[in-house]
Structure 1
Amino acid sequence: MTVLLAMLLDALFGEPKWVWDRIPHPAVLIGRVIGWADKRFNSGGLRRAKGVGLLIALVAGGALAGVVIEALLGPVAVVLVGAILLAQRSLADHVRDVADALRVSLGDGRMMVARIVGRDTAEMDEPAVARAAIESAAENFSDGVIAPLFWFLVAGLPGLIVYKAVNTADSMVGYRTPRHEDFGWAAARFDDLLNWVPARITALLILVVTGKGRWADITADARRHRSPNAGWPEAAFARGLNVALAGPRSYHGSLSDDPFVNPEGKRVIGADEIIAAVRLLWRVWLLVAVLVGLLALF
């Protein structure tokens, strides 16, 4: 029942700005630790071993923090921390903001989508802005909502905190760049492992809610994706909304030659399709809430 209450609390309040303007968000604190470790240890030799050490420290520290909170502070604290570490409301709000901005102007849409994606946005046309927003919705629904819920259910608050710590490390150092390819290797690989099951569950939930597409087609598109996990929710979203996603994208001035996901879907898309993606986020969230509630009862 604590998981369901955390879901409801997150859905109602999200991340109140007035709170996090005054105290640091737990994810920010985790990020500071990772940033300090990156500066302190990511140099010289044995970078991969140092990265493994960082991962072990994050897992041990996250598990210990969860155990202490559960044992000493009780279920109310577990619900509050769980709600803070889930991201449904904030994800839906950020994606909706892109649609609202795009309706004002293309420039506003580019500026807003740049806040939630890592690709180049300066030359995007309207369909590219919409695709980026929808892809962000799909991928972040998997690793910001479903995966944390999965590990919360499987291993309680320690599982949730460990997942968030590893996912934050992957987002900060898990890149194949000269600086981070070795140091971030362990975090990236472990994040892939922790997201393997949740990514596929996310795709299945989307398919159940929309009733659109075939599992075989989702599987085929997901396996062509550069990520072992992100392609699953992206492929399911593409079919659920009947849009083409991915395709060529620019990162740091270099154009990638990625294939389209659901290439038969609509390619001329805009704010309306982004809003449809937000609605789909909430429809799948509702199904998950019902399932979690039934699990709590039985």
Structure 2
Amino acid sequence: MTLVLAMILDALLGEPRWLWSRLPHPAVLMGRAVGWADRRFNTGTARRLKGTVTMAGLVLATGMLGGVLSAFGPVVEIIVAAILLAQRSLVDHVAAVAAGLRQGLPEGRQAVAMIVSRDTQGMDESAVARAAIESAAENMSDGVIAPAFWFAVAGLPGLLIYKIANTADSMVGYRTPRHEEFGWAAARLDDLLNLVPARLTALLIAAPCGLLSQLRAIRADARLHRSPNAGWPEAAMARAIGIALAGPRAYDGKPRDFPWVNAAGRRPLMASDIDAAIRVLWMAWSVALGLGALLALT
């Protein structure tokens, strides 16, 4: 029942600005730790080994911290878990893109630039909406279902270990000259920890949308994605609202010709499609909450 209460608390309160404007968010602290390790150890030779040892140290430290926090009892566990779940903030950030698009394309681009790393200046309305929906699907897995899954499996230690791995991957897990070697362990660990949650997220999206009969097609679409995990929730979301996702885009000024996910889906998109994706997020969250309650009662 601890997980259920944490999910409800997160959904109700999200990330109160009055609190996190005064205190650093735990995710920010994790980011600072990864950034410090990157500056300190990502030098010279044997960078893959250094990155692997760094990740082992971060995992050990966060796991131990989770054990210490758990010793303070269920109230602390609920509060910490609620802080590290992101359903409310995810919905708010994605909804801001829809609101921006309704004001105008520049406002939509500005809002979506807050949640995606791709180039946004040349985006049309469809590209802005598509980027927001892809972010919604992927972050439903990374920010909600995966943390909840690892909390259910291993309590706060599991949740904190997942969060540090996911944070490290988002900061150093790129195939760039600086991070390809040092970030290798972070990227591989994040892939491993998201293996089950990403597929579970696809099921949670598919089930309330009546798509369980299309799981084979969702799996086929997921394999087209450049990520071994992100394709699953995106493929399920694309079919849930009848649209095509992924496809060509640009990063750092360089066009990338990615294949379409659910290529037969509708491609011209608008703010109302983002609204539909948000409804799907809440439907998936509700199923996850129900499953959590069932597990708590067994």
Could you tell me the TM-score, scaled by structure 2's length? 0.99
Map 1:277-292; keep pairs closer than 5 Å. Answer: 277-292=277-292
Work out the CA distance in 2 between the residues paired with 1:216 and 1:283. Answer: 21
Aligned to 2:55: 55
Q: 2:137 aligned with 1:143, yes or no?
A: no
Work out the CA distance in 2 between the residues paired with 1:264 and 1:46. Answer: 46
Aligned to 1:168: 167
Matched residue type, 1:166: A
Work out the CA distance in 2 between the residues paired with 1:291 and 1:44. Answer: 48
Work out the CA distance in 1 between the residues paired with 2:38 and 2:167. Answer: 13
Q: 2:39 aligned with 1:69, yes or no?
A: no
Aligned to 1:27: 27
CA deviations over 1:47-76 (Å, ceiling 9, x no partner) = 1111001110111011100110111x2111
SS at match of 1:209: coil
Aligned to 1:230: 230
Shift of 1:235: 0.3
Shift of 1:217: 0.9
Q: 2:205 aligned with 1:203, yes or no?
A: no
Structure 2, unpaired ranges of 5+: none
Once the two structures are overlaid, the 10-residue window that deviates more, 126-135 or 215-224, is: 215-224
Shift of 1:266: 1.0
Work out the CA distance in 2 between the residues paired with 1:82 and 1:187. Answer: 22
Matched residue type, 2:24: P
Aligned to 1:15: 15
SS at match of 1:250: strand
Map 1:1-298; keep pairs closer than 5 Å. Answer: 1-71=1-71, 73-212=72-211, 214-298=214-298
Shift of 1:204: 1.1
Equivalenced residues, count: 297
Q: Which aligned runs of 4 or more in structure 1 are off by greater than 4 angstroms?
A: none
CA deviations over 1:1-59 (Å, ceiling 9, x no partner) = 11011000000000001100101001111111110111111110111111001110111
Shift of 1:224: 1.2
Matched residue type, 1:119: R
SS at match of 2:5: helix
Work out the CA distance in 1 between the residues paired with 2:216 and 2:54. Answer: 38
Work out the CA distance in 2 between the residues paired with 1:124 and 1:205. Answer: 30
Once the two structures are overlaid, the 10-residue window that deviates more, 253-262 or 205-214, is: 205-214
Could you tell me the TM-score, scaled by structure 1's length? 0.99
Shift of 1:294: 1.2
CA deviations over 1:171-209 (Å, ceiling 9, x no partner) = 000000000000000000000000001100111111111
Identity of aligned residues (%): 63
Once the two structures are overlaid, the 10-residue window that deviates more, 103-112 or 216-225, is: 216-225
CA deviations over 1:52-104 (Å, ceiling 9, x no partner) = 01110111011100110111x21111000000000000000000000000000
SS at match of 2:73: helix
Structure 1, unpaired ranges of 5+: none
- Root mean square deviation, CA, Å: 0.7
Shift of 1:111: 0.5
SS at match of 1:22: coil
SS at match of 2:250: strand
Matched residue type, 1:249: R
